[in-house]
């Protein structure tokens, strides 16, 4: 499957030709999964986002966050793993964090999610630039509905909520249904593997099949692009992009 969307933390702009030779730039909105534990090499500094609200945050590219950092490297003033509470924002793949106290404390962590499990931060104060990685991706597949851009396909997932980085055998079960016609939903199942660190491949469901007849494949190459976007191949081999939307009618499988 060809991948034309690259690093998660990059704002992708698409130029559209307009009359008079001008351009209209559309910026891809990035929804970043935050759950799990983000740690530096050697686990000398650990960053964890707290009070997460998946039911709302999976639909947003910008929102306020709280976090806790534990460090023996002096990050955010913590050199003894005592823990420092932080506040800040996530905005389209970028994050800034500062200590809760004092109220006017400067930012102590600032960076960009360069892929689904890596946060690259810049040098601040006397702290050098560093990277944080996560052992899992907080996919929250069950939140909301996944609807194609033209509205002709609606998928509802029951699981999984997270997937560990893929090591070759570890996967999570996937269940759900094609709810395009709510009165005639079609159940599916599959397995989801996590982020492949060696190849930078995103989480993937190789195939969604009929639970009663696994040889019947409904969709293949279901790729978790970011917290708001899936891409897949339908039974006809066509590439389809789906966006996560609120499940306002509480549709179930």
The domain spans of the chain are 38-134, 145-245
- What is the rounded CA–CA span in Å between residue 160 and residue 139? 7
Residue 23 pLDDT more than 80? Answer: no
Q: Please choose, from the candidates 62, 57, 119, 65, the residue with its C-alpha nearest in 3D space to the C-alpha of residue 88.
A: 65
26 against 154, higher pLDDT? 154
Residue 197 has pLDDT above 80, yes or no: yes
Closest by Cα among 152, 172, 138, 135 to 55? 138
- The fold for domain 145-245 equals Lipocalin (2.40.128)
Please give the average per-residue pLDDT across 73-95, as a whole number: 96
**Whole-number Cα distances in Å, 36 to 49, 67, 82:** 8, 11, 19
pLDDT of residue 182: 95
pTM, two decimals, is 0.86
Contacts for 219 with CB less than 8 Å, ≥ 6 apart:
188, 207, 208, 232, 233, 234, 235
What integer pLDDT is reported at residue 1 of this predicted model? 40
Of 9-18, 67-76, 211-220, which gets the smallest average pLDDT?
Answer: 9-18
pLDDT at residue 30, rounded to an integer? 82
Please check whether residue 173 is in contact with residue 139, taking contact to mean a CB–CB distance below 8 angstroms. Answer: no
């Amino acid at each position: 499957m060809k991948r034309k969307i690259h690093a998660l933390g990059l704002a992708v702009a698409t130029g559209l030709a307009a009359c008079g030779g001008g351009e209209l730039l559309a910026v891809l909105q990035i929804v970043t999964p935050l759950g799990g534990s983000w740690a530096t090499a050697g686990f000398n500094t650990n960053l964890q986002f707290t009070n997460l609200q998946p039911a709302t945050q999976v639909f947003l590219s910008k929102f306020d966050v709280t976090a806790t950092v534990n460090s023996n490297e002096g990050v955010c003033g913590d050199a003894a793993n005592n823990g420092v509470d932080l506040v800040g924002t996530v905005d389209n793949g970028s994050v800034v964090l500062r200590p809760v106290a004092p109220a006017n404390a400067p930012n102590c962590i600032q960076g960009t999610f360069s892929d689904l499990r890596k946060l690259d931060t810049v040098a601040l104060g006397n702290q050098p630039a560093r990277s944080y990685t996560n052992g899992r991706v907080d996919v929250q597949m069950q939140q909301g509905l996944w609807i194609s851009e033209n509205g002709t396909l609606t998928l509802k997932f029951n699981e999984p909520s997270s997937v560990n980085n893929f090591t070759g055998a570890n996967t999570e079960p996937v269940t759900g249904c094609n709810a395009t016609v709510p009165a005639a939903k079609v159940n599916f199942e599959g397995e989801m593997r996590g982020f492949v660190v060696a190849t930078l491949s995103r989480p993937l469901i190789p195939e969604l099949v009929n639970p009663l007849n696994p040889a019947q494949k409904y969709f293949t190459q279901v790729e978790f692009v970011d917290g708001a976007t899936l891409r897949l191949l339908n039974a006809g081999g066509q590439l389809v992009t789906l966006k996560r939307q609120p499940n306002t009618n509480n549709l179930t499988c």
